[in-house]
Amino acid sequence: MSIVLEAVNLTKHYQQYTALRQLSLSIHAGEIFCLLGQNGAGKTTTINLFLGFLEASDGKALINGIEVTPNNTATKKMIAYIPEVVQLYGNLNGIENLDFFSRLAGFSYPPEVLTAFLEKAGLQEAAHHKRLAAYSKGMRQKVGIAIALSKNADVIFMDEPTSGLDPMATAEFTTICQELAADGKTIFMATHDIFNAVNVGSRIGIMKQGSLIHTVNSNSISAIELQQLYLETI
């Protein structure tokens, strides 16, 4: 499998403070990588460096072998970002939001294709024509996933995707992520949800104070063991 995301000694300083310290990591196509760590451990900083929202102080972030910082426009086309709360237009419905945001990214699709993206993202058809203001957090997230699909992104970054989701919505979210990964999409998520990380992730990283301390394969560890390792690490 090809390496889609790569960090090479990736480092970020804010004045004297080091938020990310020499992160080296390779993530392959079809992987779901979950990054755990306490508040302030450096998870969002890592994502922001891959997104090109921040410039590295040292080292580099690469997407499909292309370094992010000097090639921001090219790498942005390969990725999508789903924040903790997906910002959409409350007075537009699901289809209209998807149409708007996919056009912003330079794509124009007929209604049946937009519908297919929403279905692939797990949004029930009955909701497609409802105004976003009536959507739950899980439904908004599905529109976010549909936008990522419409952009043809290879990599989807997610920040705290399961926070505030009920167990049913979390289980649905897990299934959708696994389907996306089976289609070859790469998912990188920052999360505090240890149980979900074991369930959905193919690999899990644990960060402490800007350093990646452990990476483990999810099939080699139980949720209880991961929780133990996490508590010993942080």
x/- letters, 33..52, toward ligand ATP (CB under 6 A): ----x-xxxxxxx-------
Pairing of strands 155-159, 3-14: unpaired
Of 86 and 98, the one with the shorter C-beta distance to ligand ATP is 86
Helix (H, G, I), strand (E, B) or coil at 68: coil
Does 14 engage in binding with ligand ATP (CB under 6 A)? yes
Least separation in angstroms between CB 62 and ligand ATP: 19
| Burial of residue 72, with CB atoms counted within 10 A of its CB: 0-12 exposed, 13-18 middle, 19 or more buried | middle
Of 39 and 91, the one with the shorter C-beta distance to ligand ATP is 39
Of 45 and 141, the one with the shorter C-beta distance to ligand ATP is 45
CA distances from 147 to 35, 59, 65, 100, 102 (A): 23, 31, 24, 9, 6
Concatenate the DSSP letters of all residues of 39-51 into one string. Answer: TTSSHHHHHHHHH
Least separation in angstroms between CB 85 and ligand ATP: 13
Least separation in angstroms between CB 205 and ligand ATP: 11
**Through-space distance between the first and last CA atoms of the chain, rounded to whole angstroms:** 32
Least separation in angstroms between CB 144 and ligand ATP: 18
Binding site for ligand ATP (CB under 6 A): 14, 17, 19, 37, 39-45, 190
